[in-house]
Amino acid sequence: MTTESPSGMAPQPGKRQYVKFNFFKIDPAWRRLDREVRDRHVAELTALIEEWGRRNLVRCYSTLGLRGDVDCMIWHVSYDLDDIQNMLSEIYGTGLGAYFTSPQSYLSMTKNSAYVEKYAGPGEDRFTRLSLAPGNAKYLFVYPMTKQREWYGLPQDERQQAMNQHIAIGATYTTVKINTTYSFGLDDPEFVVAFESDEPGDFLDLVQELRGSVSSAYTLSDVPVFTCRSTSAEGMLRALATDRAAVAR
């Protein structure tokens, strides 16, 4: 469970959010620095991330040992696209950030869904999904995807029927929370979907069952997929070079 401070981002009803998934890889040279230097670097970057977290929605995750190409991820949500650039620029300006590369990253936005209005519960407007409200699950599964062009040529009622099946399957997995964002024209995928769950096996079973759905047959691409472990900013950074003695404890 994340220990990050609650978001200080004030709600702006009716306004869409920018969403950025920043994945980082650490240069192994950083691990060979003196421990005192690394401690200073961790403290500096931790303070920077926490300060941004008081203005925007910022969540930290470790992917160390879960992916070979990335070591950690920062999920950043803001109403201002400049914030997305400015936070990353400041990260790269820190002592530790100078050792970061970003092999993967995704930019998306929130958007009203054309398919889920009928599933709104009493007093709940699920048609309007302009503001993300992440929970506190242990894991986040980041899932960029693109549909085949033929999908968009289907009649609206046929697409709705296919999505009804898709949504009904997802609704049976109550331990998995979905956060759908849209990347049309902003980045390579069309959607970036972030699933939250405490149980990786539940997400695995959900994805496997969805493979047989009608809408899944129109998927063009849904890789790479990232399994991310929720943590604090300091925990994310210290995991990059933890002393063996600390691991033993």
Query: In this structure, are residues 116 and 126 in contact, taking their beta carbons and an 8 Å threshold?
Result: yes
pLDDT score for 242: 75
Q: What is the pLDDT of residues 31-78, one digit of tens each?
A: 999 999 999 999 999 999 999 999 999 999 999 999 999 999 999 999
**Among 82, 30, 37, which residue's Cα sits nearest to residue 56?**
82
Q: Torsion over CA of 122, 123, 128 and 130, rounded to 10 degrees?
A: -120
pLDDT score for 3: 41
The two tokens of residue 56 are 């925007």
The two tokens of residue 138 are 């242990």
Question: pTM value?
Answer: 0.90
- Rounded mean pLDDT of 202-208? 98
d(CA 86, CA 205): 38
Q: What is the pLDDT of residues 139-158, one digit of tens each?
A: 999 999 999 999 999 999 99
Query: 123-155: b or e for each residue (b if 16 or more CB lie within 10 Å)?
Result: eeeeeebbbbebeebebbbbbbbbbeeebeeee
Total number of residues shown for the chain? 249
pLDDT score for 40: 97
Domains defined along the chain, listed by start: 18-108+230-248 (3.30.70.1030), 137-228 (3.30.70.1030)
